[in-house]
Structure 1
């Protein structure tokens, strides 16, 4: 009996739409209105989806008790209204569904059972690479090359669009997934049709990219997951989750002139990483919130994964409504949104402080102009610190005078990433700074590869209309594409002489970018020092040509009149930015640009693609292989130990990112993946990237743990052959019938929501990851791929174990005896010195996760459910 849902169901008489009346729920559960809005949104979702099985009345009442300070661990089922994907992560998910159709068809059942059951949008934004830069022709060259290099992938997407229901594809060249979501796809309040009629519901989503929480800046509840979890949601499964603590972030003070949202978010990243908010919901409140536009809030929320959190919600208010009007949402949609949110208590209320688990204080007045780097977003630096961060050259290793670049020289300067290109103030500031520098005769040195890659075409429109595009172009910041470029590692090659000089002299050169990630080898494999800065600072540093110059005191350059030009001389005033912003605020521009967002240009339209219900796998394809995951058994039989004499594959340190585990950038010719492609007759120039090759599991398995900056201490210790690759080691283990484990330190799996980091791990025969702590998304992905995450006790250090290749790892607990978050005894044998058993925490956090793990992974679970549904339909 679904008593709660029926009790709070209200019918709107004007349009016949139902909604959960949270006002009535508040009356039934006194104190419910004290819950943070993020939990109220979960509460509404549970009330609406109560079915007596996945969501019960007891679950609903347990969540309501959070209003009285109850912190008991609570597992819930969350049903998002939509799924959002970018092409790098979305394509493997769609490939899995194509393979699942084959699996269903092999049993004589209808493949129509394999269709997304919720709205799913895929935005193609990760495929464009900055092959050409500093030219008015760069945009056309890069877009044509994108289609040429990815025609097979794009043809698959066109097939998928016609084959699957509830699936929309935004073709390449439109912008970045999160900015398009913010400016167009998000409803804030959605109108959906369910079996029991039409409903008005809060817009909620999960996305296959860790920066999905950018939409929290618009008041929409959503976060990033791996593609494998997204597949389950697409097929109608709930997100199984423990209700996280909700930490309030109280913003006070005012923003100093000249300080941008980029400076705020980089400072917040440092603050929140130090505080420790991994896995938490963050909710922003306090007097400082009103000073932030939705664009500023989105800039902050975008970097939620850099905080370590799950969401960073800014509740809806009048600023939300102004943004909806600005971006061309209809008056009817605006009215519906505000009315619904205010009636149901989802509106920001400064008069009542919600009942948070903890509160972090952050004073906006303390924020100055900053950078972050050289290898982590949380490494906030005052600009004066940058010169001291470049590696000191050893004695006797002088660089010859004729070298084209030197230590500290900037070789990439990129205005890129949804984090900042969605913010008109930041983008206009960059253009105005370029204009002032141009007037003074400053130029960017030839060794700097400059680029401008906006997150939507609207940005190019208002830069063009203000005349600032001409100023940016004059300094080399020509349009290179509309999508994720440098920030995701698609920065293209450096000029030959520059690349040669870096290798020949072991140079520590730099990149500056307005992005959200600067992990080792992410931006470019040859660049050691990478700094995140605001868009105008990207231009300023490009003009300086080096990070060895202190821009707080030293001149950027010399004007044509011979005078030194300092940063303060060309930094735009608030009034100048405000004047330019008046041109940018044009709702018709947004409406016009997004009216054809699903159409694509002529290059997309001319791509031939298959039709029909099932995908035609071409034997000769090097991009697509039918994935093996539906046929993979669990890592151990039900009555067998979860680990039995497993061998160590890697011994790693702290903060191993998903970039380290599964690189997304270029494929090295000498790497196992490169050698595999060569064996198939693929020319070096056609390798493309790991991200583009995600449809071929043979490439991806060989690329797992192939990042050149990943340090495997087993190879360095002299206990093994350092020349052997991880892939060949894994092959040897498999031939010997041995399973493998990976041992790591803290924050294992930080970074992108990259399901291939877990898929590749499973393909290498890894049964378990033993780490001091895990980042949220990757832990979840490991479980869902049937790899067991095991956490060392608090205070334990892997570095003290002195492990080698000779050690073996065993856990006597059987697969069927596993329970969520139980303690198991790890036995380590085989070394010269005995190691005492260690009690490990099983990081399978929920009962639903345990079901997935014991089935062999989420894909096997989905297959079973789909087969059952197809049998009924048949």
Structure 2
């Protein structure tokens, strides 16, 4: 029998179409689905639009974790819709405040060897348990919930061979920051990172989850660790020991690429503003005054992370001019912290404990003051994501954040003159499941005014010509395309209303110009659409009537979302063409675009103002071509029904 990587073993068990060859399109059977409250409403709306009768995956859970504070009755109304839809169609529902989706799901549901599709980009977290977790757009998730396969391009499987052991004051956060320092936010595009080597067994499951969580920031499809004795012990302390399966790569497995990481050589690192890959040793930023320190989110909100921060501040006091806020990622984490006496240490040091929510990570609460520095054990520091447009956000480990909170300035914890704390996980980390509701088919689905409709687009037109509505630069995130602040997020379940905020952080007049253009193009630079999986960033372009996006390159999930909503994604074949195209130019695809896509053409010619032309790449799988020609995935599936 041919030797296999761990990735190949898990994917082979779920493969229903295609071959596990990098770059080839594969179809996967999905075991579990994860939704949350800002992207989940669209998923359930699409599920209903596709007229599915019941959830077909083993598990489908909707978590209320972003709009926990319910600033507006519209948020509460949306949560009611999510609860009733989840229970009526055979899913589970996690109440507001119970915890962040990735944290609660790994505590309660994920199993080694499973496949999970999540309407959130950090679904990669599940790789810490030996599972394949992939973030995707809502239409793909809705289709999987209804029993359909998930289609994705088979990534290159990159072995990350770990040796050594983390030294004092270094952590899993430093491991992933080191990978970002080496490879950038684009270094993982089209890749899956599989962790191997003797260093693996030195990392706890929470540490592994921190690493897999942030492989999304590398642009990776996902990441996975083996399921080993560490995994068994962790599942046992969660009360789910019977879910354990031993899983690892064959000793002679071959990979598409290999990275070497000696854990003993890693030092405390920090991501400078305003990208996760702007990484330097924390010693280079030491001395920078810090106004705000935060620990939490799906990346560093586990019991292990917060207990570590508590051990650092025990017997100390937060600096007078610095605020230190910690948000446990789940009530289970908060409850265990209290049982173990860690909460008392935090309060005594002057730390504020917040509710279990994504909150501050997306600019919902704890927005920094102008001209201030915020240091966060989070996963992203994109400009403006904190809720302050001109923010200065740094990313680091809980150890660095806690040490800096005490000092009032960015601090290398190795300079504290004391031993690093040693935190072990309790044998019993169980708690009640009272806040997770199971299926109840008799439930009446209740839709309030917050729930809009998902438009069906017409088939792709033969001729596409229109103006360049706006021209954007590199690394435009989905936060830029559809903001995640309190005002806009309330409208995410109403695409027609949300369209008024599309791309306003790039071009404040974009919605008005798009409607006036009655078609047209968005032109963008490298890595367009990175970050969150939010499909609104593509859907709202369709609502505004935008024909397509021509970029130098795309982030994986956003590219798929554009196709799913019938918005044409093209790539400049020559970077000089991007430089020479300006806002207001008229772009026309020469010839019959629909026929060219149907014929499998890999390039089209685009004419600019009737004066000159450039070539644009059409990088689409056969299934994506079929979807785009139909006007998007919803139109395609409705026509097939």
| TM-score interval (norm. to shorter) | over 0.9
Distance 1:569 1:412, change over 3 A: closer
In structure 2, what is the Cα distance between the partners aligned to 1:694 and 1:422? Answer: 28
Which has the larger helix fraction? 1
For the 8 Å contact 2:552–2:575, the answer to whether it is kept is yes
Work out which of the residue numbers 77, 94, 97 in structure 2 matches 1:173: 97
Distance 1:744 1:571, change over 3 A: farther
Give the structure 1 partner of residue 316 of structure 2: 437
In structure 2, what is the Cα distance between the partners aligned to 1:116 and 1:861? Answer: 20
For the 8 Å contact 2:176–2:215, the answer to whether it is kept is no
In structure 2, what is the Cα distance between the partners aligned to 1:725 and 1:147? Answer: 26
For the 8 Å contact 1:432–1:572, the answer to whether it is kept is no
For the 8 Å contact 2:468–2:520, the answer to whether it is kept is yes
In structure 2, what is the Cα distance between the partners aligned to 1:356 and 1:450? Answer: 43
Distance 1:92 1:81, change over 3 A: same
In structure 1, what is the Cα distance between the partners aligned to 2:367 and 2:209? Answer: 31
Kindly state the Cα deviation for residue 422 of structure 1 after the two structures are TM-superposed. Answer: 2.2
2:45 matches 1:121: no
Q: How does 1:185-584 map to 2 (within 5 A)?
A: 185-188=109-112, 202-273=113-184, 276-330=187-241, 333-334=242-243, 337-338=244-245, 341=246, 346-349=247-250, 352-386=251-285, 410-422=290-302, 424=304, 426-438=305-317, 443-446=318-321, 448-492=322-366, 502=370, 507=371, 509-547=372-410, 551-552=411-412, 568-569=415-416, 572-573=419-420, 576-578=421-423, 581=424, 584=425
SS in 2 for 1:728: helix
Kindly state the Cα deviation for residue 217 of structure 1 after the two structures are TM-superposed. Answer: 0.8
In structure 1, what is the Cα distance between the partners aligned to 2:166 and 2:625? Answer: 47
Max radius of gyration: which structure? Answer: 1
Give the structure 1 partner of residue 82 of structure 2: 157
Instruction: Give the TM-score taking structure 1 as reference length.
Output: 0.69
For the 8 Å contact 1:816–1:854, the answer to whether it is kept is no
Distance 1:864 1:168, change over 3 A: farther
In structure 2, what is the Cα distance between the partners aligned to 1:151 and 1:289? Answer: 42
For the 8 Å contact 2:538–2:565, the answer to whether it is kept is yes
Kindly state the Cα deviation for residue 628 of structure 1 after the two structures are TM-superposed. Answer: 4.1
Give the structure 1 partner of residue 607 of structure 2: 828
Give the structure 1 partner of residue 427 of structure 2: 586
* RMSD value, Cα: 2.6
SS in 1 for 2:491: coil
Give the structure 1 partner of residue 553 of structure 2: 773
Structure 1: runs of 5+ lacking an equivalent? 1-25, 50-54, 102-112, 130-144, 189-201, 389-407, 553-565, 601-608, 668-689, 713-723, 869-874
Give the structure 2 partner of residue 782 of structure 1: 562
In structure 1, what is the Cα distance between the partners aligned to 2:73 and 2:153? Answer: 44
In structure 2, what is the Cα distance between the partners aligned to 1:797 and 1:358? Answer: 31
For the 8 Å contact 2:565–2:633, the answer to whether it is kept is yes
In structure 2, what is the Cα distance between the partners aligned to 1:78 and 1:381? Answer: 39
Give the structure 2 partner of residue 633 of structure 1: 458
For the 8 Å contact 1:255–1:364, the answer to whether it is kept is yes
Work out which of the residue numbers 618, 626, 631 in structure 2 matches 1:842: 618
In structure 1, what is the Cα distance between the partners aligned to 2:104 and 2:417? Answer: 31
Work out which of the residue numbers 811, 814, 820 in structure 1 matches 2:593: 814
Give the structure 1 partner of residue 480 of structure 2: 660
For the 8 Å contact 2:303–2:334, the answer to whether it is kept is no
Distance 1:806 1:817, change over 3 A: closer
In structure 1, what is the Cα distance between the partners aligned to 2:397 and 2:490? Answer: 29
Structure 2: runs of 5+ lacking an equivalent? none
SS in 2 for 1:410: coil
Distance 1:519 1:181, change over 3 A: same
For the 8 Å contact 2:529–2:554, the answer to whether it is kept is yes
For the 8 Å contact 1:235–1:862, the answer to whether it is kept is no
Distance 1:805 1:523, change over 3 A: same
SS in 1 for 2:489: coil
Give the structure 2 partner of residue 13 of structure 1: none
In structure 1, what is the Cα distance between the partners aligned to 2:121 and 2:441? Answer: 31
